[in-house]
Structure 1
Amino acid sequence: MQARTAKISFQGAAGPIDCVLDTPMGAARGWALVLHPHPLHGGARENKIVTTIARACVQNGLIAVRPNFRGVGNSAGEFDMAVGETADMLQLVEQFQQAYPDAAAGKWVLAGFSFGTSVAAQVYSHLGEHAGRTPDALLLAGSAVDRFKFRDINVPEDTFLVHGEVDEVVPLSEAMEFGRQHSLPVVVVPDASHFFHGKLIILRQLIEQRLASV
């Protein structure tokens, strides 16, 4: 499915949140918020895992929102160990719902890669605790949730957790422990590194299979 891509800005606690919207050519059936890896290690919305997830979402009829976290691109502020980033994403969610009510009324997917998984999991947990609408699917790739955790985590039992077998940044054992703590199965891609080098097609197929049930 082809997409239209446009830049858009939302307002976070530290100032503007620099985003890109990938919109399906046909009518959207919902939206996805896709969060990038560690800002201090080159993480940005153009990351290939982020764009792979976003393309899968667009293929499934979702508007994909790819924000830059604080201090990346034209986003205001400085890296805040997931605390400020989580607050910003909660504001973005509220603003998107107001600006795009039709898409917001449909299906909602929340996804993250590496550092982005921690922000995604904490956004989900906050919404669940404060009676907000929670996403219809939570997708975590190369999970680093516990590394940047500042609050209790409560994720759904159908959370999609995918990890590379030979991840050199977040060892598979760490992802397995997270899965164990939250009673989640872990999908392991054999011979895949943290950035899924040479495995992006497999990753996209796995994401599309999960989205097909949303």
Structure 2
Amino acid sequence: MPEVIFTGPAGRLEGRYQPSKEKNAPIALILHPHPQFGGTMNNKIVYDLFYMFQQRNFTTLRFNFRGIGRSQGVFDHGTGELSDAAAALDWVQSLHPDSKSCWVAGYSFGAWIGMQLLMRRPEIEGFISISPQPNIYDFSFLAPCPSSGLIIHGGADKVAPPADVQTLVDKLQSQKGITITQKIMPEANHFYTNCADELIEECSEYLDRRLAGELAEPRPKRIR
């Protein structure tokens, strides 16, 4: 798993990158939880998501947002972190120009950044959002949400209360042209204590079904 350094908007960004052997393989970008609450690209769930996509022959990248690890810059309350994510996707796409599609997976704060990124980037055809926090972050930009994806969260989550996530899911599920799959893990808290393996199993099952052509409506081409 090569360590990489690439240029971001606020200086260098540190990542871990695994290219696929196939030139036109899809890209997966994994986004970590809140930088000010211990979130890094080495979070176990982020690592496991990286490995999940890698096993399915995606070209896969996870990285530290600005100010974390060897990434330069300082925390920017989401605005700069979204720019970091866009720069990370640009960087991996520059190495894989034949790759036509992309997935983004984010956990907590990373889910918020990931869903903003998919609004900007038409090549993102699927997303996995783990424990998004609509009680803290504004998700009104998803109007409409352009891609089908999975929202998975815990029934015992006190950081992102299930009722708030449900309101977001209900709003997205009312939109035409996409399929939002929701999974509630009843025992799970925000940190998936004793539930992390089950979380990755659920994400893996969803990804496998999407790769088999299920759980998404046929996508009209979006113009970049």
- Give 1:51 shift: 1.1
- Give 1:165 shift: 0.8
- Give 1:56 shift: 1.1
Change beyond 3 A, Cα 1:10–1:70: same
Do the aligned partners of 1:37 and 1:116 also contact (CA within 8 Å) in 2?
yes
- Give 1:100 shift: 2.3
Q: Which amino acid aligns with 2:77?
A: M
1:50 is matched with: 46
- Give 1:191 shift: 0.4
Per-residue CA deviation, residues 71-122 of structure 1 (Å, 9 max, x unaligned), is 10011111111111111211221221112224x33x4210100000111011
2:216 is matched with: none
- Which 5+ residue runs of structure 2 have no aligned equivalent? 174-179, 212-224
Q: Which amino acid aligns with 1:167?
A: D
2:204 counterpart SS class:
helix
- Give 1:170 shift: 1.0
Change beyond 3 A, Cα 1:151–1:7: farther
Aligned residues: 202
TM value normalised by structure 2: 0.83
Percent identical among aligned pairs is: 26
The whole-number CA distance in structure 1 between the counterparts of 2:186 and 2:140 is 32
The whole-number CA distance in structure 1 between the counterparts of 2:131 and 2:73 is 25
Aligned match for 2:75, one of 71, 79, 91: 79
TM value normalised by structure 1: 0.86
2:132 is matched with: 143
The whole-number CA distance in structure 1 between the counterparts of 2:7 and 2:133 is 26
Alignment RMSD, CA only? 2.0
2:86 pairs with 1:90 = yes
Do the aligned partners of 1:115 and 1:145 also contact (CA within 8 Å) in 2?
no
- Which 5+ residue runs of structure 1 have no aligned equivalent? 128-132
